[in-house]
Amino acid sequence: MTVELTFREYQDGLEQGKLLGLYCGECGAVTVPPQAVCSECGSRKLKIGEVEKKGIIKTFTVIRIAAEGMTPPFIIAMVETYSGAWVMGNIIDMDADSADMDLMGKEVIIDSRQVKGDVYSYGDIHSIVFKLV
Amino acid sequence: MREVAILGAEMTKFGIYDKTNVELFSEAGLGAIEKSNIEPDKIEALFFGNCMGDFEEGQLHMASFAHSAIGLKKSAPALRFESACATATVAIRNAALLVGAGVYDIVLAGGSERANAMGTPLATRTFAMASHALYETPLGITFPGVFGMATHMYSEKYNIPLDELKRHMAEVAVKNHFHGVNNPKAHLRKEITVEKVLSGMMVADPLQLLDCCPFSDGSAAVVIADAKTAKDLIKKPVYIAGMGQAASGPLYYQKDITRVKSREISIKKAYKEAGITPSDIDVCELHDCFTIAEIFALEGFGFYEFGKGYDAATKGETRFGGKVVVNPSGGLKSKGHPIGATGAAQVTEIAEQLREESGPRQVEGAKIGLVDTLGGDFGTVCNIILRR
């Protein structure tokens, strides 16, 4: 058993402007980000495919007391993509202080940016960002 | 499986210490051993919880040093457990499973933590390591952030205006501090008001400072034995009636984070094993790392329907004299939250309650008590039901 879509390949996808997911041959769910089995049913019958880079904000927070190495305030959100998979990322095109419950249900475009890793991390990686439509 | 009991249980005061993790554990561990009327050489294995000793003191493999420091015999293995904030409960559950299976007759389980040694920025960074390090942590997520997102989702899902929800959440903090005043071992032993909670510094929207438990240092430990050994050693063993534990992965796969699936599975198993229903619980120590977390737990236990538990503290139903006394120790919010020790302190509180040794915070006639500990961003929940 080899992993169908590795972290590195998913990262390369983001760098090329693609959100890669795994389409389940059993239940049809889409797994993003990738892992060895379907995130919904556990099946290993998975096929790599692109996921539409759009979705709806399901919740958010504004981080005001941040971990070492981060500069607050900044917004984190959970977004349901139209494929059904949820992704987490930063909302980057608005002032954090103006974030409120009006964000719930708003449509966003999904993109990525490079984030510098610190000494305890995997290293520099591409992480998800959201822009309001 | 054999019936399993808690013998001696002991915790240090929670707070801020310059004593080392091993010194704190020595106080709790030897205290639990003394209360069990045994000597350390009777302990057959150590189940030791610690999350961040490497960051706090540059110490990995702390279990072996804790073992040596309290004079356990070399033939007793020392194991280190790490399940984020649920660490010590998981250590106790695994200890109880092995005693139940007959592998050991008498063991010591608990944990120690000194988050304050790291200072807030590094402590916040290391706590965030319990979120997914590739897909959550790089966004800058913190634990208040996770529960902040869950709060917004709850408000939206059940159509409760955020301002109204926040007042009810503040009542959870007020209630737990009210309880904690009667606990000489509590970290923050003072009463607070709703107004004070609502005027606090914003930590992660919509959670303010007093919605959050503190970073605490401290240790707790319990001796666990089969029921026969326990009855021979002490007057009031407390029995493990049921246990559960479940895992649920990263936030983005959990999706609706107002429903803690790991808890729903864990508590169902614990109730079944104990042969009880939610209404049989007299007293409960649950995982109130944030005010909203207590509300989620009340609903997860089946004490309230989902979406209906938010005003339990406001209505006085979880206070002394209420339907079920929730967090008589002050909970994580007032008693404090040294994450590697928290679960063992919860078990200590429930064991003392069931032995009627809780003094001014005694829940009268308590016969069945519930321990609930949550680890990571809802990734682990472990439950232990105790009875007289």
Domain containing residue A130: 52-133
Average pLDDT over residues A99-108: 98
* Residue A16 shares a structural domain with residue A47: yes
Average pLDDT over residues A94-111: 98
Report d(CA A20, CA B163) in Å as an integer: 39
Report d(CA B68, CA B148) in Å as an integer: 42
Q: Classify residue A94 by its DSSP letter.
A: S
- pLDDT tens-digit profile of B163-177? 999 999 999 999 999
**CATH class, range B128-214+240-387:** alpha beta
Report d(CA B324, CA B346) in Å as an integer: 16
- Backbone angles phi and psi of A41, in degrees to 5: -120, -5
Q: Is A109 on the interface with B (CB under 8 A)?
A: no
Say whether B173 sits in a helix, a strand or coil: helix
Mean pLDDT rounded to a whole number for chain A = 97
Please determine, for residue B91, whether its predicted confidence score (pLDDT) is greater than 90: yes
Report d(CA A51, CA A42) in Å as an integer: 20
Q: Is A95 on the interface with B (CB under 8 A)?
A: no
A2 CB-near residues (< 8 Å, 6+ apart): none
* Residue A27 shares a structural domain with residue A60: no
Q: Is A7 on the interface with B (CB under 8 A)?
A: yes
Average pLDDT over residues B354-374: 97
| Whether B179 is catalytic | no
* pLDDT (0 to 100) of residue B69: 98
* Residue A15 shares a structural domain with residue A65: no
pLDDT-derived band of residue B115, with 50, 70 and 90 as boundaries?
Answer: very high
Q: Classify residue A57 by its DSSP letter.
A: E
* pLDDT (0 to 100) of residue A69: 87
User: Is the CATH number of domain B4-119+216-239 3.40.47.10?
Assistant: yes
* Residue A69 shares a structural domain with residue A124: yes
Q: Are B155 and B196 in contact (CB under 8 A)?
A: no
B329 CB-near residues (< 8 Å, 6+ apart): B179, B180, B183, B185, B186, B285, B335, B345, B346, B349, B361
* Residue A46 shares a structural domain with residue A79: no
Domain count, chain A: 2
Average pLDDT over residues B31-44: 98
Please determine, for residue A65, whether its predicted confidence score (pLDDT) is greater than 90: yes
Mean pLDDT rounded to a whole number for chain B = 97
Intra-chain end-to-end CA distance of chain B, in Å? 19
- pLDDT tens-digit profile of A14-34? 999 999 999 999 999 999 999
Of A19, A36, A51, the last residue of a domain is: A51
Say whether B168 sits in a helix, a strand or coil: helix
What does R_g of chain B's alpha carbons equal in angstroms? 19
* Residue A33 shares a structural domain with residue A79: no
Contacts of B259 in chain A (CB under 8 A): none
**Which residue of B120, B133, B153 is in closest CB contact with A58?**
B153
Structure tokens at A76: 């984190």
Residues of chain B with CATH 3.40.47.10: 4-119+216-239, 128-214+240-387
Query: By percentage, how much of chain A surpasses pLDDT 90?
Result: 95
Average pLDDT over residues A80-88: 98
CB-based contact A68 B122, cutoff 8 Å: yes
Nearest CA in chain A to B147: A61
Q: How many CA within 13 A on the CB side of residue B82? A: 14
Does the predicted TM-score (pTM) go above 0.95? yes
Q: Using omega within 30 degrees of 0 as the cis cutoff, is the peptide bond preceding B144 cis?
A: no
| Whether B85 is catalytic | yes
- pLDDT tens-digit profile of B183-233? 999 999 999 999 999 999 999 999 999 999 999 999 999 999 999 999 999
* Residue A44 shares a structural domain with residue A100: no
Q: Are B84 and B375 in contact (CB under 8 A)?
A: yes
* pLDDT (0 to 100) of residue B273: 98
Query: By percentage, how much of chain B surpasses pLDDT 70?
Result: 100
* Residue A64 shares a structural domain with residue A38: no
* Residue A126 shares a structural domain with residue A101: yes
* pLDDT (0 to 100) of residue B101: 98
* Residue A31 shares a structural domain with residue A96: no
- pLDDT tens-digit profile of B255-276? 999 999 999 999 999 999 999 9
Query: Chain B closest CA to A76's CA: distance in Å?
Result: 7
- pLDDT tens-digit profile of A29-41? 999 999 999 999 9
* pLDDT (0 to 100) of residue A1: 82
- pLDDT tens-digit profile of B287-344? 999 999 999 999 999 999 999 999 999 999 999 999 999 999 999 999 999 999 999 9
List the B283-285 sheet strands across, edge first: B78-81, B46-49, B106-114, B217-226, B4-11, B238-247, B380-387, B368-375, B283-285, B325-326
Please determine, for residue A68, whether its predicted confidence score (pLDDT) is greater than 90: no
